Amino acid sequence: MNAKSGQSDLNNLIKSFINATEGLVEAFKQERNLRLHFLIGTIVLIISYFLDLSNEEILWLIFAVFSVIGMELLNTLVEVLMDLYSENHDVRIKFVKDVSAGMVLWYSLFAVTVGLIILGRAIFNWRNDIGRLFAVLFVVGLPLISILGGLRKRAKRKN
């Protein structure tokens, strides 16, 4: 490898980081939900700094926050691509967008579950089983309520 090639590789790497940063900034400017997830994640991580948490607990919180933000970015990408593909209403495009949004919801449920278990113990002095109980109720309850609501809506349409 010669010096010129090494410099070119470094320039390409720097350019890639600049492009990635510009993409994040634009998504942050345009996407309200991304800003909301970022704000909540920032608050959780700031609070966790002042709590007596293990390294593993901190890593789980960081993983949960980054996962939700990553999924929100992916959802944004899917929505933009679907809009570019067709501006007309299409049930297949609606399905893709709904599944993509559902993915964000699912990861958000994961993040809330992690937060309930870890922060519940640290802030409210919950025993681990109480945090797990709230987490299970939340993870099972919210999708169940959504499914039942969807079935009810479908039944109303048939009548």
**Binding-site annotation: residue ranges:** 31, 72, 79, 97-98
CA separation for the pair 144, 74 (Å, rounded)? 25
Do the Cβ atoms of 137 and 109 come closer than 8 Å?
A: no
Q: Which two tokens stand for residue 122?
A: 């640290």
Does 72 participate in catalysis according to the annotation? yes
Q: Which residues are annotated as a binding site for substrate?
A: 72
**Catalytically annotated residue among 26, 56, 57, 72:** 72
Q: Which residues are annotated as a binding site for a divalent metal cation?
A: 31, 79
CA separation for the pair 128, 119 (Å, rounded)? 10
Nearest to 104 by CA among 139, 77, 69, 144: 69
Q: Which residues are annotated as a binding site for ATP?
A: 31, 79, 97-98
CA separation for the pair 66, 16 (Å, rounded)? 20
Residues belonging to the active site: 72
